């Protein structure tokens, strides 16, 4: 009986932030797939990573569906939370990234995932922006880079959307992402510079700053043929933000592990992929070395995150109140 109560309590506090794992794992998959093509390798690594990422997504989706059916009030509470609310689109982003990973393997599966992901992401974007506009309980300290996830995540749609033939739809989503990247970037820097610091538990979300220009660059390269000035602005913005955050490594290394550490993974994957795409467009070896080097570093980080998450789950340090 006690075990059943504990299990129900863990399900009630199963955090939506868990889906950030799928973003990191799928980003790593797409990164290695691109690297293998560039390096001329025929490893089964990307295929294995894709199977693992898809399995994790199905497992997490099943558990969260169970939470929705059995603990609906807890899900509604997350939907009203000023920070947790912004992690719901990690579900739709996971679908969009899986669609990109399946594009060359199984186009029909990619189409189904892309259609579901794009539709869900648009719905979540509209819902969350309505919450932002009409709720009165948000305060300055609630703002953090996780707020990029709902709207800037729209820029991911073209990565598979163009290959599936939905060019105009892809431009629509890309425009939303880039417009609100600038808006939210201004708000976040205002919050960081002129208000009290981001709490330690959420500091890893600063790495999300890297994702919008990196994803924007990769998506834009799908939409246009040449490497133009706007593309360079996106890529070098991502490069500078990566350098800026790496100079603060000692601060991040002092933090205690939590699920928010998965915020390191997808932005670094996005920048790795952007660097490899930059190599494809320019032929400059620097970008190839940078992309493969970042991808190798990311692989080590993801392995560590998987181990740390597994230990935290076994020791009952996750699925607790206020996760």
Confidence of residue 257 (pLDDT cuts 50, 70, 90): confident
pLDDT, one tens digit per residue, over 224-247 is: 989 999 999 999 999 999 999 999
The candidate with the shortest Cα–Cα distance to 30, out of 102, 90, 89, is 102
Confidence of residue 5 (pLDDT cuts 50, 70, 90): very low
Confidence of residue 1 (pLDDT cuts 50, 70, 90): very low
Q: How many domains does the chain have?
A: 1
The candidate with the shortest Cα–Cα distance to 14, out of 94, 93, 51, 69, is 69
pLDDT of 35: 94
Average the pLDDT over 62-90 and give the result. 92
Asked if residue 141 is part of any domain, the answer here is yes
Asked if residue 261 is part of any domain, the answer here is yes
Query: Contact, 238 vs 210, CB < 8 A?
Result: yes
CATH for 186? 1.50.10.150
The Cα angle at residue 322 between residues 190 and 181, in degrees rounded to 5: 30
pLDDT of 143: 79
Asked if residue 322 is part of any domain, the answer here is no
Report how many helices (DSSP H) and strands (DSSP E) the chain contains, helices first. Answer: 14, 0
pLDDT, one tens digit per residue, over 305-322 is: 999 999 988 888 777 776
Question: Residue 252, Cβ neighbours under 10 Å: how many?
Answer: 16
Query: Contact, 156 vs 97, CB < 8 A?
Result: yes
Q: Which domain holds residue 281?
A: 2-314
pLDDT of 3: 45
Q: At 197, which helix (H) or strand (E)?
A: none
Query: Contact, 118 vs 161, CB < 8 A?
Result: yes
Q: Mean pLDDT check: name the lowest of 39-48, 120-129, 225-234, 278-287.
A: 39-48
Q: How far apart are the C-alpha atoms of 156 and 218, rounded to whole Å?
A: 9
pLDDT, one tens digit per residue, over 148-162 is: 899 889 999 999 999
Q: At 84, which helix (H) or strand (E)?
A: none
Q: How far apart are the C-alpha atoms of 59 and 313, rounded to whole Å?
A: 14
Asked if residue 221 is part of any domain, the answer here is yes
User: Sign (positive/negative) of CA torsion 90, 94, 95, 97?
Assistant: positive
Asked if residue 18 is part of any domain, the answer here is yes
User: In the predicted model, is pLDDT for residue 104 greater than 80?
Assistant: yes
**Considering the entire predicted model, what is its pTM?**
0.93
State the chain's mean pLDDT as an integer: 91
- How far lies 237's CA from each of 57, 105, 210, 243, 286, in Å? 31, 32, 8, 10, 17
Q: At 315, which helix (H) or strand (E)?
A: none
Q: How far apart are the C-alpha atoms of 145 and 322, rounded to whole Å?
A: 19
Asked if residue 321 is part of any domain, the answer here is no
Q: How far apart are the C-alpha atoms of 35 and 269, rounded to whole Å?
A: 12
Query: Contact, 302 vs 38, CB < 8 A?
Result: no
pLDDT, one tens digit per residue, over 172-210 is: 999 999 999 999 999 888 888 888 778 878 888 899 999
pLDDT, one tens digit per residue, over 107-132 is: 999 999 999 999 999 999 999 999 88
Confidence of residue 134 (pLDDT cuts 50, 70, 90): confident
Query: Contact, 31 vs 106, CB < 8 A?
Result: no
User: Sign (positive/negative) of CA torsion 152, 144, 271, 32?
Assistant: negative
Query: Contact, 170 vs 205, CB < 8 A?
Result: no
Q: How far apart are the C-alpha atoms of 135 and 159, rounded to whole Å?
A: 33
Q: Which residue in the block uniquely carries the two structure tokens 């393997």?
A: 105
């Amino acid at each position: 009986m006690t075990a059943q109560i504990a299990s129900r309590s863990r399900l009630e506090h199963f955090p939506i932030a868990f889906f950030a794992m799928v973003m990191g794992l799928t980003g790593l998959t797409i990164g290695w797939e691109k690297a293998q093509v560039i390096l001329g390798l025929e490893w089964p690594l990307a295929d294995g990573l894709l199977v693992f990422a898809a399995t994790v997504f199905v497992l997490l989706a099943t558990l969260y569906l169970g939470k929705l059916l059995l603990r609906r009030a807890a899900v509604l509470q997350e939907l009203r939370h000023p920070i947790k609310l912004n992690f719901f689109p990690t579900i739709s982003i996971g679908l969009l990234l899986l669609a990109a990973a399946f594009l060359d393997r199984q186009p029909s599966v990619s189409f189904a995932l892309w259609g579901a992901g794009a539709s869900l992401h648009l719905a979540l974007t509209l819902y969350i922006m309505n919450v932002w506009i009409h709720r009165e309980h948000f305060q300055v300290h609630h703002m953090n880079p996780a707020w990029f996830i709902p709207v800037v995540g729209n820029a991911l749609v073209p990565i598979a959307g163009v290959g599936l033939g939905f060019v105009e739809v892809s431009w629509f989503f890309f425009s939303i992402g880039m417009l609100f990247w600038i808006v939210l970037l201004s708000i976040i820097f205002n919050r960081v510079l002129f208000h009290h610091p981001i709490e330690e538990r959420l500091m890893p979300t600063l790495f999300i700053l890297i994702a919008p220009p990196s994803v924007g660059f990769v998506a834009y390269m799908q939409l246009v043929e040449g490497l133009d000035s706007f593309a360079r602005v996106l890529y070098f913005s991502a490069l500078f933000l990566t350098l800026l955050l790496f100079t603060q490594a000692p601060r991040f290394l002092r933090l205690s592990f939590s699920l928010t550490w998965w915020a390191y993974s997808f932005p670094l994957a996005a920048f790795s992929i952007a660097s490899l795409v930059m190599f494809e467009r320019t032929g400059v070896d620097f970008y190839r070395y940078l992309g493969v080097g970042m991808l190798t570093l990311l692989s080590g980080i993801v392995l560590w995150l998987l181990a740390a998450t597994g230990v935290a789950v076994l020791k009952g340090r996750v699925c607790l109140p206020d996760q």
